[in-house]
Amino acid sequence: MEIVLYESEIPGNTGNIARLCAANHMTLHLIKPLGFSIDDKHVKRAGLDYWHLVDVQVHENIQEVFDKYPDRRFFFATTKAKHRHSDVEYQIGDMLVFGPESRGLPESLLAEHEETTIRIPMIEEARSLNLSNSVAIIAYEAMRQLDYPDLKVEGPWIKQG
């Protein structure tokens, strides 16, 4: 599972998402332009001491990501999607794409990939969820379906058998 942030604007959200990626062995792709520097102290503070655990790749544009990963499946998170995030049967290597906090993914990109747009159910009156919350919800649903690959899921607090 890989996370793609298209033109992310808020350093705290990106830091939180980087921490989620670190904890789950996910690559984080950042699409320029960003609303901050990835050296920004706010991003690093949100990610705490996890930055060394994250594979962060910065791309000039979304087409660069498509070209680099032509055999991958891309899912585009938007409040305008037909499909719920939990209706998708995720596969290892899927790319989860999220738009900037203030405006979401471009309409042209969503129209081009309409069949792979996904949404998180919520009441009609709610505009959207926080970006880092949305990434966590969808990423963990995908990881749950895949039985949490590469993650420690057992411990003394879990009953065996």
Question: Is the whole model's pTM more than 0.85, yes or no?
Answer: yes
Beta strands in 36-128 (DSSP E): 55-59, 74-77, 83-84, 95-98, 117-119
Q: What percent of the chain has pLDDT over 70?
A: 87
Is 99 flagged in the annotation as binding? yes
Model confidence band, residue 52 (pLDDT cutoffs 50, 70, 90): confident
Phi, psi of 115 (to 5 degrees): -70, -15
CA-to-CA separations, 127 to 102, 103, 122, in angstroms, rounded: 11, 11, 9
Contact 87, 117 (CB under 8 A): no
**For residue 56, what are the contacts with CB-CB under 8 A and spacing of at least 6?**
18, 27, 28, 29, 30, 38
Give residue 55's Cα distance to chain centre.
13
Average pLDDT over residues 21-35: 94
Q: Flag whether 120 is marked binding.
A: yes
Fold of 2-145: Alpha/beta knot (3.40.1280)
Map out the domains of the chain as residue ranges.
2-145
- The yes-or-no verdict on residue 21 having pLDDT over 60 is yes
Q: What is the pLDDT of residue 69?
A: 98
- For residue 103, is pLDDT > 90? yes
